[in-house]
């Protein structure tokens, strides 16, 4: 039986603002997209299971101000027996909001980009799973970056920097079952090659 820990799934950006706060312009980039919100409409990349639909509904129920019907799929990584998807939605004032969804129906409240989001260049959710609470044999994460980020890479437990491709919405994902490849840090670089931000990832 696979154990998925909700405790080990978290948002790695400081979001001290509420859903009603406006989205600020960052000093070196922005949290905006040409279409207004990143991602494809729900179901456009394949039918959603009833469990996933119920989980998204539950996330909307506890996410004040996030507009029902606005949710989009931004990026998905598929593991050996489950997957992790980054979802976006429109907040009360039109700001982007994010949460994650697992294939097993795990999700959480949407976190909207408010005043403090401009201080960081990365939004990411991390998930881990294993046969017991104490044994982790798989780590996955999904995320999205600010407009001034040109490249995303992770540092593995073995000390190797591995580049992660960005999709058309500046989103990325990663999953591994190899302890040597477990990510310990996530790094994002600007167009000039300079380090924009580094975040610890797992453990």
Nearest-angstrom CA–CA distance, 191 and 189: 7
Four-point Cα dihedral 93, 97, 103, 104, nearest 10: -80
Residue 10 pLDDT:
31
Residue 50 pLDDT:
86
What DSSP string runs through 95-142?
-EEEEEEETTS-B---EE--GGGGG-SEEEEEEEEESSSS---EEEEE
Q: How many domains does the chain have?
A: 1
Instruction: Tell me the pLDDT of the chain (203 aa) as tens digits.
Output: 333 333 333 333 323 222 333 344 445 788 999 888 999 988 776 667 888 889 999 999 999 899 989 999 999 998 655 689 999 999 988 889 999 998 878 888 999 887 555 568 999 998 877 777 777 788 889 999 999 999 999 999 899 999 999 999 999 999 988 888 899 999 999 999 999 999 988 65
Q: Which of 196, 200, 20, 198 is nearest to 115 (CA)?
A: 20
Could you list the residue range(s) of the whole structural domain that residue 127 is in?
Answer: 3-200
Contact indicator for 50, 59 with CB cutoff of 8 Å: no
Q: Which of 202, 102, 196, 95 is nearest to 146 (CA)?
A: 196
Half-sphere exposure of 54 (CA within 13 A, CB side): 7
Contacts of residue 58, defined as CB under 8 A and 6 or more positions apart, other chains included, come to 107
């Amino acid at each position: 039986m696979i154990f998925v820990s909700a405790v080990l799934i978290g948002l790695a950006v400081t979001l001290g603002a509420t859903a009603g706060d406006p989205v600020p312009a960052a000093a070196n980039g922005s949290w905006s997209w040409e279409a207004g919100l990143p991602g494809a409409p729900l179901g456009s990349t394949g039918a959603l299971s009833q469990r996933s639909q119920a989980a998204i509904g539950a996330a909307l129920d506890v996410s004040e101000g996030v507009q029902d019907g606005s949710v989009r799929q931004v990026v998905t990584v598929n593991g050996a027996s489950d997957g992790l998807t980054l979802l976006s939605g429109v907040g009360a004032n039109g700001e982007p909001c994010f949460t994650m969804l697992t294939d097993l129906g795990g999700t959480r409240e949407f976190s909207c980009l408010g005043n403090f989001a401009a201080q960081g260049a990365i939004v990411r959710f991390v998930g881990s799973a294993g046969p017991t609470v104490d044994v982790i044999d798989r780590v996955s994460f999904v995320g999205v970056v600010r407009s001034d980020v040109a490249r995303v890479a992770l540092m593995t437990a073995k000390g190797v920097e591995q580049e992660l491709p960005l999709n058309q919405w500046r989103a990325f994902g990663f999953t591994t079952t190899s302890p040597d490849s477990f990510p310990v840090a996530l790094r994002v670089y600007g167009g000039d090659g300079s380090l924009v931000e580094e975040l610890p990832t797992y453990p």
